[in-house]
Structures are given as C-alpha cells and as structure tokens.
C-alpha cells in the first residue's frame, strides 16, 4: 500500500459557534487528484487554509511525508513542498506574466526582493519562471502585462506561481470559477497533466470537471466528511444524495458525467 504524502487526523476548527472543520480525517496520495466538494459554507476553504498554514486548527494533526506540520508557518510548508492557488487571482496587474512568476520564484529561493534589479533579469530566476510558465502553456504570453491577459490566462499565471516552488502537494481553490467552457476544458487538461508529478487537492463547484478529473472525492457538509471514495462510489452514495437533497437550496440531477449540483440564490 502506498504511503500518503499528506494526512489529516481529527482536524477541528471553530469560528465562534460555527464548527467549520469537524473531526476531519483524510489521506492524500501522490499522483492523485483528490476533490473536495460540498455546499457553500461547508468548510472547504477553511480546510485548505489549515493545510496551507494560514489558519491554525483547534485540534488534530496534519502530517506531510510523515512530518508533523500542524503548527509550521506557511513559508516552511511551502519550502517542504505544499503550494496553493487562491479563489481570487493574486497577481500584480501592472507586472508582466513573467514578472509575476519570477517574484514567486524569488520568494521560493528566499531572496529578498531586489527592487533595483527586476527579478526577470536574474538569469536562474528567469529560467525557473519560464519553466513554470511553460508548464501551464503560457510562455508565448511571458512579456504580456497581467492586466491584458484573459481571466483564464490570469488563473494560469496563478498556477504557474504555485508551481514555481516545485510542490509535491498543490491545493487548488476553485480553479475553474468564473471561466468559460473552453478555458475550463483547458484547465482540466492542465490538471490532468500535473497530477503525474504531485498530489492535487481540488476544491471545485464544477461537478462535470470534478467527476471527470478526480481519482477520489470527499464530500464535506457542515465541516464533516460524510463520504470519501471513487467518483463512482460517491455518485452512488445514499449519504451524499441525502445530504445534497436535504439542502433546500440545492438540486441534484443526473447528467452524462454524474452529479450536477446547482445552487440557487
Ligand atoms: P464556499 O463553497 O462558499 O467557498 P466553503 O465550503 O469554502 O464555502 P468556508 O469558507 O470554509 O466554506 O466556510 C465554512 C464556515 O465557516 C462558514 O459558515 C463560514 O461562514 C465560516 N467562516 C469561514 N471563515 C470564517 C472566519 N474567518 N470567521 C468567521 N467565520 C468564518
């Protein structure tokens, strides 16, 4: 049996009276896409924030390659090999795609920011940044200002920035959000290519993407994992159907790829 690269054991996080993470146990394996789904407010981002180190759990443990990292700071986790992308793009609009990724490379290498010499002019930094841009298929846009990139391309720059740290675990918070069908399809292709080299934890509301990409899916409701398994097991799980159907705001119907979850305002 393969050893998990990342494990969560008994993780709990409260915000006042809200239990956003409730006794979560999960294992993530290298070469797998593990999707985390659940209704709005189920606690998906809160879980990602704890894995990335931006939030401290109230109880439980997080282990990365056997090492307890529960209370390690973000930069230490990043150095160990955990990277994340954000729901909103976190790039500088006035900088080129290459400059944005070069800054992420410098952060990885622990360089202080040399404002008198742009990061892209430091040869090894430039090479590493171009490699990361190449991994997301954006080398031809390297010198384009971020503000002139399409929304989908900006999301790709965000992923290249995360790839700059050569992660072994990549946490993706809604990478398809706000994208059109074509950009979403390209993102699906990219994530499929990336998974051979790392473990991907995907939080995503696009169920077609989730069910076509994920090797395993875990379902979070009110901070608790109510089901975890292959897409087929999740599709058939009575607990999942009941949990979604129990939510008045959510309808669930069969599509070619399985569950279609729609949230209504
Ligand atoms: P969505 O799919 O809408 O992004 P989510 O599953 O990512 O939702 P979280 O954002 O993790 O859910 O929120 C889980 C619960 O914790 C919600 O009830 C939310 O209101 C609450 N919450 C999250 N962050 C905070 C915070 N900093 N302070 C107080 N409550 C919070």
Whether residue 202 has pLDDT greater than 70 = yes
Which of 13, 35, 38, 44 maximizes ligand 1 atoms within 8 Å of its Cβ, making it the mutation to test the pocket? 44
Q: Which two tokens stand for residue 76?
A: 């230490």
Give percent of the chain with pLDDT exceeding 70.
85
Domains of the chain, CATH where assigned: 1-81+167-231 (3.40.50.300), 92-166 (no CATH)
Mean pLDDT of the chain: 87
Residue 239 pLDDT level (bands cut at 50, 70, 90): confident
Whether residue 199 has pLDDT greater than 70 = yes
Q: How far is the centre of ligand 1, averaged over its atoms, from the C-alpha of 237 (Å)?
A: 25
Q: What is the pLDDT of residues 61-71, one digit of tens each?
A: 999 998 999 99
Q: How far is the centre of ligand 1, averaged over its atoms, from the C-alpha of 42 (Å)?
A: 7
Q: How far is the centre of ligand 1, averaged over its atoms, from the C-alpha of 235 (Å)?
A: 25
Q: What is the pLDDT of residues 22-50, one digit of tens each?
A: 999 999 999 999 999 998 899 999 999 99
Whether residue 100 has pLDDT greater than 50 = yes
Whether residue 263 has pLDDT greater than 60 = no
Q: What is the pLDDT of residue 265?
A: 33
Which residue, by CA, sits nearest to atom 30 of ligand 1? 15
Which of 16, 20, 243 maximizes ligand 1 atoms within 8 Å of its Cβ, making it the mutation to test the pocket? 20
Alpha-carbon distance values, 48 to 114, 136, 172, 211 (Å): 31, 22, 8, 20
At 229, which helix (H) or strand (E)?
strand 224-229
Q: What is the pLDDT of residues 135-155, one digit of tens each?
A: 999 999 999 999 999 999 999
Q: What is the pLDDT of residues 246-255, one digit of tens each?
A: 544 334 444 4
By CB neighbour count within 10 A (0-12 exposed, 13-18 middle, 19+ buried), where does 67 fall?
exposed
Give the binding-site residues of ligand 1, using a 6 Å CB cut-off.
15, 18, 20, 38, 40-46
Which residue, by CA, sits nearest to atom 24 of ligand 1? 46
* Residues belonging to the chain: 265
Q: What is the pLDDT of residues 174-197, one digit of tens each?
A: 999 888 888 899 999 999 999 988
- Which numbered atom of ligand 1 lies nearest the CA of 205? 2
Please count the other Cβ atoms lying within 10 Å of the Cβ belonging to residue 144: 15
* Total-model pTM: 0.86
Residue 173 pLDDT level (bands cut at 50, 70, 90): very high
């Amino acid at each position: 049996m393969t050893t998990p690269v990342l494990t969560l054991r008994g993780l709990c996080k409260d915000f006042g009276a809200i239990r956003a993470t409730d006794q979560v146990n999960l294992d993530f394996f290298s070469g797998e896409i593990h999707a985390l789904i659940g209704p709005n407010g189920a606690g998906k981002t809160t879980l990602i924030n704890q894995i990335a180190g931006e939030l401290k759990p109230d109880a439980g443990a997080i282990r990365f390659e056997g090492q307890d990292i529960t209370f390690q700071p973000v930069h230490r986790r990043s150095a160990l090999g955990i990277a994340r992308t954000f729901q909103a793009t976190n790039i500088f609009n006035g900088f080129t795609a290459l400059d944005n990724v070069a800054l992420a490379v410098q952060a990885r290498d622990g360089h202080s920011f040399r404002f008198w010499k742009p990061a892209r002019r430091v040869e090894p930094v430039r090479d590493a940044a171009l490699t990361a841009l190449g991994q997301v298929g954006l080398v031809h846009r390297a010198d384009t200002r971020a503000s002139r990139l399409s929304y989908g391309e900006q999301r790709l720059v965000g992923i290249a920035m995360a790839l700059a740290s050569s992660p072994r675990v990549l946490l993706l918070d809604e990478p398809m959000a706000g994208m059109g069908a074509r950009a979403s399809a390209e993102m699906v292709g990219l994530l499929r290519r990336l998974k051979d080299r790392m473990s991907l934890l995907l939080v995503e509301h696009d169920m077609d993407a989730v069910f076509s990409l994920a090797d395993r899916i875990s379902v979070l409701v009110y901070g608790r994992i109510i089901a975890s398994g292959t897409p087929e097991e999740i599709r058939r799980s009575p607990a999942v159907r009941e949990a979604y159907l129990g939510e008045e705001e959510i309808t669930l119907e069969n599509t070619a790829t399985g569950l279609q979850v729609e949230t209504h305002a």
